[in-house]
Chains A and B, each alone.
Chain A
């Protein structure tokens, strides 16, 4: 299986600041995945949320990106969905 590799071409956002959602902003990185997180549950779940974001980016073929995430209590399925939507928007010309 050929590993898919994609490149973020432009800044993109997905999600919202509504309760149970997360706002993801993605832009070109500096050679690695860099995640900046602000969350209502940062103390308890900050590292877990970052891992979900990181793993979803890798699944989508992204290894170089700067991510800013503002979380309002999103569950994993929402985090994954918003990251995927953001990548889709960021790789399009």
Chain B
């Protein structure tokens, strides 16, 4: 599953939890970390359990647990290990915390997906090692607010200060064949700014974006959804590859352009995002 949008829902907010499945996001991240006051961690765990056990909402639900260096890491895991969720978001991801999480998941025989939240300089510089420390990882997620704090960089709407971080996350994610998930856009009212920021992230190679306001979901989904023209072209590439394979041709041209592996890969990525991908396409790159 390619998540164009992953929407944060505060774990101790009943009103937002109960409407979380109708907000249009590809996935939900129920937050037990920053959105929950230190005095309410216990209550939030109980509320999240009751919500998920009662409603059994359809869709992809992740839970952001507290980091390994907090007193809540294992309490969070114990509280949610029997829930029917898609996966976990590991904050302040490091090789050590990912190994601890994997160890816990192995011991409890849990097949949750894992998304690593990269939000400090060490995490960024060791992103690929973090990926390698997990069998379950499906995405790297850039947390730019904490990262820029750690870097001593000024956080701006133009986001020039996170270009390197974005590219680094994208490269590590692509090297591992997992999703690169962008930092949320924090100005809930600036929808034009959101569009620009999301396009910039997508143009660099991000495959989806995390979201803190339900108002942002539709815009981000649109940006990350391929146009019909892109889908049609990708389907023509796929048909071309099939034809060339049947004829025993290595390379071929389509509409006057040579089609090689990167173009085929790009076409397959478009079809994965649009939902038009078929299992049989797996062999087109062989």
Contact = CB atoms under 8 A, between A and B. Distances in A.
Given A78-B47, A82-B43, A88-B46, A18 B15 contact: yes
Interface string B45-68: 011011101110000000000000
Interface in A76-93: 76-78, 80-82, 84-85, 88-89
Given A88-B42, A89-B42, A81 B15 contact: no
Contacts of B15: 18-21
B243 interface: no
A30 to B, nearest CB: 27
Contact of B46 (A18, A20, A74, A81): A81
A23 to B, nearest CB: 11
Highest count of chain B CB atoms <10 Å: which of A20, A76, A88: A20
Contacts of B18: 20, 75, 77-78
B43 A81 contact: yes
B49 A81 contact: yes
A20 B43 CA distance: 15
B14 A85 contact: no
B46 A77 contact: no
A76 B46 contact: no
Given A77-B51, A77-B55, A78-B50, A20 B14 contact: yes
Interface residues of A, number: 18
Interface size range on B against A: 10 to 19
Nearest to A86: B43
| Interface residue SS majority, chain A | helix
Contacts of A15: 43
Interface string B1-30: 000000000000111001000000000000
A75 B51 CA distance: 10
Nearest to A74: B14
Interface string A14-52: 110011110000000000000000000000000000000
B42 A81 contact: no
A20 B19 CA distance: 11
Contacts of B53: 77
Contact of B54 (A19, A76, A84): A76
A82 B50 CA distance: 10
Contacts of B13: 18
A77 B42 contact: no
A77 B50 contact: yes
15 contacts: A18-B14, A20-B15, A75-B14, A77-B53, A78-B18, A78-B50, A81-B14, A81-B43, A81-B46, A81-B49, A81-B51, A82-B47, A85-B42, A85-B46, A85-B47
Interface of A: 14-15, 18-21, 74-78, 80-82, 84-85, 88-89
Interface of B: 13-15, 18, 42-43, 46-47, 49-51, 53-55
